[in-house]
Every structure is written in C-alpha cells, then in structure tokens.
C-alpha cells in the first residue's frame, strides 16, 4: 500500500515539476508578434490645413523659410522588457502594445510628422528585431514616399546603468537613417552591466518563480518573453560584425564598444544620450566628465541630446551636491542647503527619519544621533537603492529629498553633473584640442506603451505617462511592506530583491506626458528630416507644438540658425521668433475613427487625438541662457551658466513674439560663449505638473506633500494630478567661438 502511495506521489511530483518547467519556459503561451499596421493613409485634405496654418503663423512673425516638422525619437513598445512589465495585470497594464500600435498612434492619434522606434536592445531577440524592421518598413509603405503623412525611423536603445559614478555612462538611443537592406545592422547592439552582466538576465529559477504568479495568459506570455531573451546567446567578441551569426545577441559594455560596432557596421546613424540627470538610473555623484573628449565619446554620431522627456527635465545645472567626498575620496552624505533653491539630500533625510523614530521610542538623544549617522552612511553605501535602507518609509516621509526644487518639471533624484548645461560648459583640457560636447537640444516622450508624441493633450495619466505602480492587491515585490524600524538596515543585511532597485512610488509623481523634437526641414521626406537632425537645426518642446526660430545675424544680412557654430570677435546679434501651440479641441478628427474603428480608437487614443483649433496659446516671454565654456579645469561650473541671462516679455497676442538682442560684452570677455533660448507659454494644466505637490514654509522647506502615487490603492488611476505649468520650447544652442 505504501509503495503505491509513494509511487503515486512520485508520479505526481514528477508531473508537477514538468508542468512548472513548461510553465516557467512559456510553453503554454505564444510568441508575441509585431501587430498589423493600419493600411489607410491620412488624406491630404486633413494634413494640408495644418501645414497652411503653420506657414501662415510663420509669415505673420516674419519666418517663412523652412517648415517645422514635429516628431518623437524615443518610443518603446512591448518588445522592450520594461514595457512588457508595465503591460502586465500586476500593474494594471493594458496588455500588448507592439510596434504596429506605435505606427498607428503616431499617425492617427498624435498626428506626428516623424518618429523612431527605440526598444531596449537587450530584449530584442533576432526574431523580434526582424519583426521590428518589417513593421517599420510597413509603416513607411502605407504612405507616400514623396509626401509622407509620417516617416518612421528604425533604431534601438543602448541602456547602461553603472553601479557607481565612475562606471556609469547612461542611456543612448541609436537612430538609423535607412531602413533597407544594407542600411540596417543584422542585430541591434545591447549594453551590459559593469563587469559584463546582462541587464535583463533572469535566471531560470526566477523565471519559474514568476510563473507561479500567473493569474492570466498575459503573465504566461511574459515568461515566454523572458525565455526567448535568455536563450539567445551573446555574440563572440573580437569577430567582425558581418561575420557573426544572425542568431546571437550583440553587446557592448561601454560607449566606445557601441561606437566601434557602429563603425564596423558602417551604417549612417545618430546616437542620442537621454535622461542624463535621472537619479533612478544614474548613481549619486555621476558626472559627464568621462565622456568629454575621451574614447567614450563620438562627436560624429553623438550630435543631439534629449534634455526633456516623459521622465522629466535634464536641462538645468545646480551647484548643490547629491553626494560629497572626504579627504580620502570616500563617499559621504552632504549637508542640506536651505531655501526655495536649496537641496535636501536623500541620505540626510534618511538620518532624519530614523532619528525621529528613535526619539518617538524614547531612546537617549546620543543614541538617536548615532543611529541617524549610521542611516546616512547606509544610504550613501546603497547609492540608487539607498531608499531601501529605511524600512517602512512612505513617500510622504521622504518629503522632497533628492529633488531639484526650482527646476522646471525635473527628473527624479536630480543629478546636476549630468545636466545639459553642465555637459555644455564642462571641458576636458587633457583631450586633444580640448574635449567638449556640442550637441543640439531635443525632447521626446520615452513612452512605453507604443504611443509616440503623447503630449498633445494632458489626459489619462495611467497610460499616457509611466506613472503606474503595482496594483493595490499585488504581491510586494518592491519591499514596500517592510514594517517601520527605528534603525537603518544596510543592503548587506537584507535579502536580495531584484525588483526593488528603483524607488517606484516616489518616481510616479515625476512622470509627464512627454516632449517632442521639432526639425526645421526643407521638405517632408526621410532625407529632409535626416539633414535637419544632422545640422542640429532642431529644438525640443515639453509637448506643445510651439513654433520657434533662433538665429545669429550676420553683417551682410544673412544668418546662421540654431545648431550652428560661428567664429567671430565682434558683438554677436541674435533674433528669436516664437508662436504658441494651437489649442486643442476635444475628441478626434473623423478620419481617425474611419481608419481605426471605434474600439481601436479607444484602445490606442483613448478617444482623444491631436485635434487643433484655430486659436493659439500665447507666448508670454523669451528667456535667453548664456553659457561660458571653462577656460581651466578647476573653474567652477555654476558661475559659467547664466540662466536666464536675458528675459523679454512678449505682447498679449496669439501672433507670437519676436525679439532681437546682442551681447556687447562678448568682444572684451576673451572667451567663447554658448547661447540658447526658451519660449515660454501661458500657464495651462499638465499631468503631474506639480510633481510631489509640496506645501512649503517661508524658508522654502517642504512641510508636507500630496504625491501622485502609481499604486491605485493610494491615488486613483483616473486622477491625472493636473497642475498649471508653463509649457516651453528649448532651442538648440548657437556656439560663438573667438577667432
């Protein structure tokens, strides 16, 4: 009898093991394909009035030379691993949003002129890459090659996160000019962790463990997705790229490796750093220095910088420190600085939280001060994951620690040494010819639901931004349910939590609908757009389709546009012209409904499309930023950034704003200068426009906050957390060098 019982139990356990193995390997789910692009082209009678309205606005402001096209060069679909996670029921996700959805959204919802796909290369298996190429080609085929309603570019994201400031290089989008055979690498090039580990490596046991969380078919599809990624071998190193097999995964640990492989492929491409100041990816103390004039730079390809996206702004430099160093070079916690432009370091607040809890328990003051000091040390040692060292701390407990208080819609846990202004001013005097970065400024969405150009309307925070977290009833994979303790717990004392490397709940208040890149182009074709990108005659907006021109004027009546480098010793004179974006009507144009159908229009656009009226927002002022590149290595960066250097109030007119100014101090300054402008619109509501929604005291300290949570148990997904902001456009710089 016992033998039969044991034999039955053995068979049961064997079958259970086989079932779990099959489940963990995704054998009960199918491969997720690229979807089908809607074949209907947008009619000219819809596009022509929009182009005519832009030309008429340009003529009224005296700027009718080139047309301005709007696009998004940073778009993810559920072919990206993080986008797939956001699509899961665990975080109230919508399900699959493949490449075809991005094409349809760009054309019928956002009405963009161009866009690029930039899924994370580490999750692009050979099959997914082939499907991506086919989908982008199909997106271009459904429209006219000579007068396209949209131009779709092919690309990917190289996604590197360092473990410390010394080995962090950040995220870069690769955008390819061509889409035909010979113009496209056989494989995208993925990043590696410092030390050679794959960013999305998920061990077999972890994949099987995820399978145990299965509640529906979508979770099964995720295990299949992970299995496809994990079973694609890395390509051999040191082999010419065209000699490698199609079935391997090409990787590069550093930017130099990425640039070398692109050189080996020999395809025309642009590499765009983005999210440089994000603290959720950049460790405290990160600086751009290692990428200035070193072998980690490529001035031929790295010509554009994305300074704003749905993850916030990376434009502005601040002189406060997110980490300090002792005499031996060890990382220590800096003290806070007071006031509206002050800074409260995360590590310092960690000590305050622990000290407050300690005193509440009635412990001696000396003991509580010692625990606070320990908490600060543990937080510094934890770097990006330092928040985990304070058990049970709520978003409200952290107040506005780590944030830039006086920046426009800043990225979370701001890193000033990675900001656009720091990058522009900093020089490497050890490099041949003195290394410095000269990149045009753009913005894009960084959307993860295949929705390029979401910023046309401020609505649906849960899908038009990244502001979502685990469902209220989801299992705790982020360590949020640890009970509060009156002492800090170092990461070495904690169990490994691979999903708890980002402070997701606090980040949720910093996600916006995203920005756009605008190109001054001679025409609408792929080559027209590419030439504009190459000459840096581009600018970024926070989402509104603001029209902007910024030129340096010549003595002969000519001019050089934004993105130009000029050499002169006399007084430079500049011209700025800006027109506000067209206000939006509710709903969608009839053509979008006819093309997509009622259900797909809702699934993609949420029944709201780019639908402009004849009324425009007003430009209220023009701000000019002047920067002076360093003349010696130890020159402080802060005084070299004059922001704003000049401000011009604009008339109350929908026709826009035109100003001219000069810099009489340039000839006698004895140094080069960089100028760019911001065109600022009248205030309007925006998703997460007030970020943490702090209430400040008279000294500028955050007393309490009303965060916009990603967790739907804390903030309803229907709450868009709207607040008034001044939408804006940032021109690319003009570099004025002395002769």
Domain of residue 491, residue span: 324-403+471-507
d(CA 362, CA 190): 53
> Is pTM, for the whole model, over 0.95?
no
Closest to 40 (Cα-Cα) out of 90, 107, 97: 107
On whether both 89 and 168 belong to a single domain, the answer is yes
**Does residue 546 share a domain with residue 440?**
yes
Of 518, 546, 514, the C-alpha closest to 616 is: 546
pLDDT of the residue at 209: 57
Distances in Å between the Cα of 540 and the Cα atoms of 374, 402, 498 are 43, 26, 35
CA distances from 95 to 23, 89, 132, 448, 736 (A): 19, 8, 18, 12, 50
What are the per-10-residue average pLDDT scores of the chain (739 residues)? 52 45 52 87 79 90 87 97 87 90 97 97 95 97 85 97 93 97 95 67 57 65 85 92 94 96 97 96 95 94 98 97 94 94 97 98 97 98 94 94 97 98 96 90 97 96 84 61 91 76 88 97 95 98 98 92 96 98 96 94 96 97 98 96 98 95 96 98 97 92 91 82 97 96
Please give the pLDDT value at position 557. Answer: 84
Q: Where are the alpha helices (DSSP H) in 489-545?
A: 504-507, 526-534
Residues 97, 121 within the same domain = yes
Q: Which among 348, 353, 397 has a CA at the least distance from the CA of 377?
A: 348
Instruction: Give the pLDDT score at 5.
Output: 53
Q: What is the CATH number for 48? A: 3.20.20.140
Instruction: Indicate the residue among 507, 526, 556 that finishes a domain.
Output: 507
Question: Is 723 inside a domain boundary?
Answer: yes
Whether residues 395 and 417 share a domain: the answer is no
Tell me whether residue 24 is in a domain.
no
Task: Give the DSSP per-residue string, 240-300.
Answer: -GGGS-TTSBEEESSHHHHHHHHHHHT--EEEEEE-TT-TTTSPTT--SGGGSSSTT--TT
* Percentages (nearest 5) of helix, strand, coil residues in the chain: 30, 20, 50
Q: Which of 507, 531, 561 is the last residue of a domain?
A: 507
Residues 53, 177 within the same domain: yes
Number of domains observed in the structure of the chain: 2
Where is 69: in which H helix or E strand? strand 67-72
User: What three-state secondary structure class fits 428?
Assistant: strand
How far is the C-alpha of 607 from the C-alpha of 605, rounded, in Å?
5
Classify each residue of 306-316 as buried b or exposed e, where b means 16 or more C-beta atoms within 10 Å of its C-beta: bbbbbbbbbbb
376 and 302, same domain (yes or no)? no
448 found inside a domain = yes
23 falls within a domain: no
DSSP for 89-154, written as a single string? GGGT------HHHHHHIIIIIS--SEEE---BGGG--HHHHHHHHHHHHHHHHTS-SSS-S-EEEE
| Residue 416 confidence (pLDDT) | 97
Is the backbone peptide bond immediately before 321 cis, with ω within 30 degrees of 0? Answer: no
Same domain, yes or no: 305 and 360:
no
614 & 570 share domain: yes
Q: Which of 582, 575, 734, 733 is nearest to 61 (CA)?
A: 575
Q: What is the CA radius of gyration of the chain?
A: 26
Q: Do 430 and 295 form a contact (C-beta atoms < 8 A)? A: no
Residue 45 neighbours by CB distance under 10 Å:
8
- Do 450 and 586 fall within a single domain? yes
Write the CB contacts of 542 (distance below 8 Å, at least 6 apart in sequence).
308, 408, 409, 443, 455, 512, 515, 725, 727, 728, 729
Q: Does residue 39 form part of some domain?
A: no
Q: Are residues 394 and 287 in the same domain?
A: no
Residue whose C-alpha is closest to residue 394's, from 337, 340, 356: 356
Looking at the structure, do residues 266 and 360 belong to the same domain, yes or no? no
Query: Rounded distance, CA 224 to CA 49, Å?
Result: 46
Asked whether residue 398 falls in the same domain as residue 498, the answer is: yes
| Beta bridge partner(s), residue 647 | 623
Domain closes at, from 451, 481, 507: 507
d(CA 292, CA 423): 8
pLDDT of 286: 97
| 220 within some domain | no
Does residue 439 form part of some domain?
A: yes
Instruction: Please report whether residue 34 resides in a domain.
Output: no
| C-beta of residue 519 within 8 angstroms of C-beta of residue 529 | yes
């Amino acid at each position: 009898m016992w033998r039969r019982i044991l034999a039955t139990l053995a068979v049961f356990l064997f079958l259970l093991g086989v079932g779990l193995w099959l489940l963990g390997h995704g054998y009960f789910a199918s491969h997720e394909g690229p979807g089908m692009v809607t074949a209907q082209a947008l009619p000219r009678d819809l596009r022509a009035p929009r182009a005519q309205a832009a030309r008429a606005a340009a003529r009224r402001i005296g700027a009718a030379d080139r047309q301005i096209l709007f696009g998004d060069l940073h778009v993810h679909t559920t072919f990206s691993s993080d986008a797939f996670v956001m699509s899961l029921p665990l975080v109230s996700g919508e399900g699959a949003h493949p490449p075809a959805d991005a094409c349809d959204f760009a054309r019928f919802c956002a009405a963009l002129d161009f866009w690029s796909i930039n899924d994370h290369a580490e999750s692009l298996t050979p099959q997914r890459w082939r499907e991506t190429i086919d989908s982008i080609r199909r997106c271009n085929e459904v429209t006219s090659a000579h007068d396209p309603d949209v131009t779709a570019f092919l690309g990917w994201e190289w996604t590197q996160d360092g473990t410390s400031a010394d080995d962090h290089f950040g995220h870069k989008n690769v955008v390819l000019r061509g889409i035909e055979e010979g113009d496209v690498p056989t494989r995208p090039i993925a990043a590696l962790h410092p030390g050679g580990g794959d960013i999305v490596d998920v061990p077999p046991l972890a994949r099987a463990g995820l399978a145990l969380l299965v509640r529906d078919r979508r979770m099964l599809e995720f295990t299949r997705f992970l299995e496809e990624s994990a079973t694609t071998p890395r390509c051999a190193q040191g082999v010419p790229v065209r000699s490698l097999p199609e079935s391997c995964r090409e990787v590069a640990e550093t930017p130099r490796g990425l640039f070398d492989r692109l050189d080996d492929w020999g395809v025309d491409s642009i590499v765009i750093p983005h999210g440089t100041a994000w603290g959720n990816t950049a460790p405290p103390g990160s600086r751009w220095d290692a990428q200035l004039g070193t072998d980690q730079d490529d001035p031929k390809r790295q010509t554009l910088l994305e300074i704003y996206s749905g993850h916030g702004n990376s434009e502005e430099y601040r002189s406060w420190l997110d980490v300090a160093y002792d005499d031996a070079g060890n990382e220590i916690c800096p003290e806070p600085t007071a006031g509206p432009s002050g800074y409260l370091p995360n590590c310092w607040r960690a000590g305050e939280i622990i000290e407050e809890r300690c005193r509440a328990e009635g412990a001696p003051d000396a003991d509580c001060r010692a625990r606070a000091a320990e908490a600060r040390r543990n937080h510094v040692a934890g770097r990006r994951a330092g928040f985990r060292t304070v058990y049970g701390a709520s978003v409200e407990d952290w107040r506005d620690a780590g944030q830039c208080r006086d920046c426009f819609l800043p990225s979370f846990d701001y890193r000033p040494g990675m900001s656009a202004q720091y990058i522009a001013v900093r020089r490497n005097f050890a490099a041949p010819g003195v290394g410095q970065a000269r990149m045009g400024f753009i913005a894009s969405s960084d959307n993860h639901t295949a929705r390029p150009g979401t910023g046309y309307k401020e609505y649906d925070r849960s899908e038009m931004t990244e502001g979502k977290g685990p469902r209220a009833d989801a299992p705790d994979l982020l360590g949020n349910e640890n009970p509060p303790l009156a002492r800090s717990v170092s990461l070495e004392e904690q169990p490994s939590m691979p999903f708890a490397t980002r402070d997701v709940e606090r980040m949720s208040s910093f996600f916006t609908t995203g920005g756009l890149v605008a190109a001054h182009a001679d025409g609408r074709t792929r080559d027209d757009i590419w030439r504009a990108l190459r000459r840096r005659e581009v600018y970024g907006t926070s989402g509104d389709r603001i029209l902007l021109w910024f030129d340096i004027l010549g003595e002969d009546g000519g001019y050089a546009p934004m993105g130009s480098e000029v050499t002169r010793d006399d007084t430079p004179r500049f011209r700025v012209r800006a027109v506000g974006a067209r206000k939006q009507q509710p709903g969608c144009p009839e053509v979008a409904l006819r093309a997509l159908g009622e259900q797909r229009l809702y699934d993609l656009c949420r029944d709201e499309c780019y639908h402009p009226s004849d009324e425009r927002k007003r430009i209220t002022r023009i701000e000019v930023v002047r920067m002076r590149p360093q003349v010696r290595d130890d020159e402080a960066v802060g005084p070299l950034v004059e922001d704003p250097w000049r401000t011009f109030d604009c008339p109350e007119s929908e026709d826009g704003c035109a100003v001219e100014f000069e810099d009489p101090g340039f000839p006698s300054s004895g140094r080069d200068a960089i100028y760019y402008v911001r065109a600022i619109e009248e205030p309007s509501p925006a998703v997460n426009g007030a970020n943490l929604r702090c209430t400040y005291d008279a000294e500028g300290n955050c007393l309490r906050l009303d965060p916009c949570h990603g967790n739907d148990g804390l903030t309803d997904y229907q709450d868009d957390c709207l607040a008034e902001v001044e939408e804006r456009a940032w021109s690319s710089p003009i570099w004025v060098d002395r002769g």
